[in-house]
């Protein structure tokens, strides 16, 4: 009885929360997301992914005898919704009464469905009334207006239909439904009529890949758009990702667009970015540098982006001085742009790579003073601290690290800010870069360092640097090890999400939750995108949990990226639920089956897979790496032979084979680098050849220093992400919350096996 009362209370609370005025916060429980009718996994997936015919088949075969009256209306609404999105809208006509009685669907979705059924039933007047009930602010308004125009045409009210098309055409391009409206207006006048040219030109420029856009292209022929319009079209093609079309179009016509106009800047940027996307980096840099340097005041949107991509292009060519100059021009020429601090950070790195560290130092100092909260502030501060340590100035290094902790918000860059806490303590313990194994003779500094490591670990137990901190403490002080707080595995017994009153009260949220309960996940996600608020971690996790019904791996990837700037300490009351959702056990059973015989902890490989592919088995990198463990074909073939297997382009993405090869390769790397996890993970990303060269170059230095010395920024961050994720899995999933014993790597990297 107590349980029944609690469930009834929860249901009443949720119902109240949906209708009552918003208060400070709201809880969304399982009752608020429970499906209106029983949905089998296959039906849920079909509805979520808009596989309408599959949904129809499943809905038609459902036993509806046990459904309540309200559930029958929901069933019929879903059936009508699906019929109307196939070529059989007439099959939805018998559901009309149920759709009229439906109380579960959002009002505008019900009105749209009613209107479309009336159209199919030959009742355009009734359809017109239904469509007119949909508010202009609704996401469905463009579709409804187009259907309303069709209804007017059905009853011969051509003028009314044209007025609707004309009103839709008044919106700025591109806009949903405008391509249909513009084509309708042009068709009515006649596609060859000169008066239609303006509409056709807009179609050609702003909707080039739509059916209407292609018809406009045919109608315009060779007597069409001006140079201005051609330039705008290429920019639109770039926005749509049609890189080859852009480069093919502009390769012989770039001279038509001088870099003395805003349009010229846009067109040159479109061409340069398209070249970059096609990996033609030499040509891209030649185009993009002039865009960035000549377009201040003309195009302050694309100018800084052009210099950024130019820097990336030159990096790929190992032209570090050229990259540094490109990056440095961003804050020089566009100081108010969000990329200005990126220019200082990346420019400084490039100058160091070019052999001019003082120039890099100067850029980072300017960045720290000018943009202390920029998105790359952590990188700049860290470089200042690390370079001071390498110069033999540990006190200066500590000052920079502690200033970073004070000034850079942890959400901007959790890895670097927590890293600064670690290194501020570590440098108190071992301050001598020339002798990093020598403990500081100053007992007070040692105590401060030990206390700092404990405080850092206890505040950030899921962080990469907690691995270093715990292993340093194991070596130095049993008392301080005893002071470490090892969290219990995440508690997921709660089934509510804590959301803000403004999120809950937003009309799009209300519609989205109703749609999710009907199984219309794609439509729900579209509504959530209309919520013009910054989502809290709980709200993002809620949206992700709904998205998972459509694509669990894409949902995880989105939440994964969102949480990069949301350390666990900032996740609020739903922290445990969010972390369990963000660190799922996807492929864990299969991964254990293929990797359990190896000496390394299987969770390391699980973490690696999460960071490599976000558990998307079909992913392919720009470099050609494929599958869950992102195997390069040559490496895959090499390792597959060790397993007596054969890899082809057809089977390399097969999860079992891909994970078997990836785990075997990681096991080889652990052996090659004498069980040093930092080196093995680095080698998975950069290759054992590169890591072997770095070991020789840097000598027998502590592993924490080795990671910071890694020359490839991508690899350095990769090691921190993978092993940080590994530590997070240990804390969140258990059973062992305490870090592994890797103290053997504290003071040396270990020579490689030969």
CATH of the domain at 91: 1.25.40.10
- Once rounded to an integer, what is the mean pLDDT over residues 607-616? 95
Q: Give pLDDT tens digits for 375-406.
A: 999 999 999 999 999 999 999 999 999 999 99
- Top-confidence range, 420-429, 555-564, 629-638: 420-429
DSSP 753: P
Residue 76 burial (10 A CB sphere; 0-12, 13-18, 19+) = buried
Q: How do 496-500 and 25-29 pair as beta strands?
A: antiparallel
d(CA 712, CA 695): 14
Domain for residue 670, yes or no? yes
In this model, does residue 17 exceed pLDDT 50?
A: no
630, 610 Cβ separation under 8 angstroms: no
| pLDDT band at residue 12 using 50, 70 and 90 as cut-offs | very low
Tokens at 160, concatenated: 């009314």
d(CA 541, CA 560): 10
Q: Give pLDDT tens digits for 178-227.
A: 999 999 999 999 999 999 999 999 999 999 999 999 999 999 986 668 99
Mean pLDDT check: name the lowest of 144-148, 219-223, 669-673. Answer: 219-223
- Top-confidence range, 565-574, 618-627, 629-638, 738-747: 629-638
| pLDDT band at residue 4 using 50, 70 and 90 as cut-offs | very low
436 Cβ contact partners less than 8 Å away, ≥ 6 residues apart: 430, 701, 702, 705, 747
Residues 133 and 171 in one domain: yes
Domain for residue 488, yes or no? no
Domain for residue 353, yes or no? yes
pLDDT at residue 495, as a whole number: 81
In this model, does residue 500 exceed pLDDT 50?
A: yes
Closest C-alpha to 231, from 277, 264, 276 = 264
Residues 80 and 219 in one domain: yes
Q: Name the domain boundary from 162, 196, 225.
A: 225
Q: Give pLDDT tens digits for 276-319.
A: 999 999 999 999 999 999 999 999 999 999 999 999 999 999 99
In this model, does residue 738 exceed pLDDT 90?
A: no
Domain for residue 753, yes or no? no
Strand partners of residue 626: 620, 631
529 Cβ contact partners less than 8 Å away, ≥ 6 residues apart: none
Q: Give pLDDT tens digits for 514-525.
A: 999 999 999 999
Q: How far is CA 686 from CA 73, 348, 710, 714, 721, in A?
A: 58, 23, 10, 9, 14
Full domain range(s) for residue 176: 41-225
pLDDT at residue 2, as a whole number: 35
Q: Output the CA angle 679-685-687, nearest 5 degrees.
A: 75
pLDDT at residue 11, as a whole number: 36
- Once rounded to an integer, what is the mean pLDDT over residues 423-435? 97
Domain for residue 680, yes or no? yes
Q: Name the domain boundary from 190, 205, 225.
A: 225
Q: Domain of 661: which CATH number?
A: 1.10.530.10
pLDDT at residue 18, as a whole number: 33
119, 154 Cβ separation under 8 angstroms: yes
d(CA 588, CA 103): 42
Domain for residue 640, yes or no? yes
Catalytic residue positions? 612
3-state SS, one letter per residue, for 186-207: HHHHCCCCHHHHHHHHHHHHHC
Residues 15 and 46 in one domain: no
Residues 707 and 683 in one domain: yes
- Once rounded to an integer, what is the mean pLDDT over residues 620-631? 89
747, 690 Cβ separation under 8 angstroms: no
Q: Give pLDDT tens digits for 444-475.
A: 999 999 999 999 999 999 999 999 999 999 99
Strand partners of residue 25: 500
Residues 155 and 251 in one domain: no
* CA 613 to chain centroid: 12
Residues 220 and 234 in one domain: no
| pLDDT > 90 fraction of the chain, expressed in percent and rounded | 84
In this model, does residue 659 exceed pLDDT 60?
A: yes
- Show the DSSP H helices in 240-339 as ranges: 243-250, 262-277, 281-294, 302-316, 320-333
Residues 111 and 196 in one domain: yes
Residues 622 and 641 in one domain: yes
Closest C-alpha to 236, from 199, 203, 197 = 203
Q: Name the domain boundary from 167, 201, 225.
A: 225
d(CA 727, CA 456): 14
The number of beta carbons lying within 10 Å of the beta carbon of residue 78 is 28
The number of beta carbons lying within 10 Å of the beta carbon of residue 732 is 22
* CA 487 to chain centroid: 28
DSSP 631: B
d(CA 536, CA 210): 36
| Residue with the two structure tokens 């199984």 | 519
pLDDT at residue 15, as a whole number: 34
What total of structural domains would you count in the chain? 4
Domain for residue 421, yes or no? no
d(CA 710, CA 597): 30
Peptide bond into 735 cis (omega under 30): yes
pLDDT at residue 23, as a whole number: 37
85, 46 Cβ separation under 8 angstroms: no
* CA 716 to chain centroid: 20
Domain for residue 323, yes or no? yes
Residues 96 and 221 in one domain: yes
Residues 160 and 14 in one domain: no
Residues 68 and 151 in one domain: yes
DSSP secondary structure string for all residues of 414-467:
HHHHHHHHHHHHHHHH---TTSTTS--S-HHHHHHHHHHHHHHHHH-TTSHHHH
d(CA 419, CA 415): 6
23 compared with 71, residue with greater pLDDT: 71
pLDDT at residue 737, as a whole number: 67
d(CA 193, CA 89): 35
Residues 741 and 639 in one domain: yes
């Amino acid at each position: 009885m107590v349980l029944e009362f609690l469930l009834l209370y929860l249901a009443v609370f949720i119902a109240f929360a949906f209708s009552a005025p918003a208060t400070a916060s709201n809880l969304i429980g399982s009752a608020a997301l429970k499906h209106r009718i029983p949905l089998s996994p296959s039906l849920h997936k079909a509805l979520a992914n808009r596989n309408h015919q599959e949904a129809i088949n499943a809905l038609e075969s459902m036993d509806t005898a046990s459904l309540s009256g309200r559930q029958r209306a929901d069933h019929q609404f879903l059936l009508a919704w699906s019929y109307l999105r196939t070529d059989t809208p007439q099959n939805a006509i018998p559901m009309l009464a149920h759709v009229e009685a439906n109380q579960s669907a959002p009002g505008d979705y019900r009105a749209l469905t009613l209107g479309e059924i009336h159209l199919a039933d030959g009742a355009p007047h009734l359809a017109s009334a239904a469509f007119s009930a949909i508010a202009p602010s609704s996401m469905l308004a463009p579709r409804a207006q187009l259907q309303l125009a069709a209804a007017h045409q059905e009853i011969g009210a051509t003028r009314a239909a044209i007025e609707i098309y004309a009103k839709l055409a008044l919106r700025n391009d591109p806009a949903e439904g405008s391509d249909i409206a513009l084509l309708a207006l042009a068709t009515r006048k006649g596609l060859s009529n000169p008066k239609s040219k303006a509409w056709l030109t807009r179609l050609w420029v702003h909707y080039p890949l739509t059916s209407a856009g292609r018809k406009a292209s045919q109608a315009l022929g060779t007597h069409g758009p001006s140079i201005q319009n051609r330039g705008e079209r290429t920019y639109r093609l770039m926005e749509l990702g049609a890189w080859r079309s852009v480069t093919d179009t502009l390769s012989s016509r770039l001279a038509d667009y001088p870099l003395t106009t805003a349009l010229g800047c846009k067109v040159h940027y479109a061409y340069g970015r398209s070249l970059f996307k096609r990996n033609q980096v030499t040509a891209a840099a030649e185009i993009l540098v002039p865009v960035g340097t000549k377009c201040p005041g003309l195009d302050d949107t694309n100018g800084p982006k052009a210099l950024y991509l130019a820097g990336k292009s030159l990096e790929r060519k190992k032209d570090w001085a050229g990259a540094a100059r490109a990056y440095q021009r961003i804050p020089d020429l566009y100081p108010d742009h969000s990329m200005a601090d990126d220019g200082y950070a990346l420019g400084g790195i490039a100058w160091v790579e070019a052999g001019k560290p003082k120039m890099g130092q100067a850029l980072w100092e300017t960045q720290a003073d000018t943009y202390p909260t920029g998105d790359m502030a952590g990188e700049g501060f860290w470089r200042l601290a690390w370079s001071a340590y390498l110069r033999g100035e540990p006190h200066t290094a500590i000052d920079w690290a502690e200033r970073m902790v004070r000034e850079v918000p942890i959400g901007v860059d959790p890895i670097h800010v927590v890293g600064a806490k670690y290194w501020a303590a570590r440098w108190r313990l071992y301050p001598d870069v020339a002798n990093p194994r020598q403990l500081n003779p100053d007992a007070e500094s040692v105590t401060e360092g030990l206390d700092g490591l404990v405080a850092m670990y206890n505040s950030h137990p899921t962080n990469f640097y907690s691995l270093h901190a715990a292993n340093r403490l194991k070596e130095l002080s049993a008392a301080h090890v005893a002071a470490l707080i090892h969290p219990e595995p995440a508690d997921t017994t709660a089934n509510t999400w804590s959301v803000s009153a403004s999120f809950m009260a937003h009309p799009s949220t209300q519609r989205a939750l109703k749609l999710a309960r009907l199984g219309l996940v794609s439509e729900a996600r579209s509504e959530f995108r209309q919520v013009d608020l910054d989502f809290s971690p709980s709200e993002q996790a809620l949206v992700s949990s709904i998205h998972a019904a459509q694509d669990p791996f894409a949902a995880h990837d989105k939440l994964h990226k969102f949480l990069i700037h949301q350390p666990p300490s900032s996740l609020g009351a739903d922290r445990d639920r969010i972390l369990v959702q963000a660190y799922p056990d996807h492929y864990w059973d299969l991964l254990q089956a293929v990797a359990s015989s190896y000496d390394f902890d299987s969770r390391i490989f699980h973490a690696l897979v999460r960071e490599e592919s976000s558990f998307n088995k079909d992913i392919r990198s720009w470099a050609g790496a494929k599958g869950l463990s992102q195997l390069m074909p040559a490496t895959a073939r090499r390792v597959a032979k060790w397993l007596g297997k054969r890899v082809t382009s057809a089977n390399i993405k097969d999860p079992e084979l891909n994970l078997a090869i990836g785990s075997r390769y990681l096991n080889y790397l652990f052996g090659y680098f004498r069980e040093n996890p930092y080196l093995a993970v680095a080698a998975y990303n950069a290759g054992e050849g590169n890591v072997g060269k770095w070991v020789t170059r840097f000598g027998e230095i502590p592993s924490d220093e080795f990671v910071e010395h890694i020359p490839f920024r991508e690899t350095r961050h990769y090691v921190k992400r993978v092993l940080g994720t590994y530590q997070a899995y240990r804390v969140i999933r258990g059973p062992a919350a305490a870090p592994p014993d890797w103290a053997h790597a504290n003071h040396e990297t270990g020579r490689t096996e030969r």
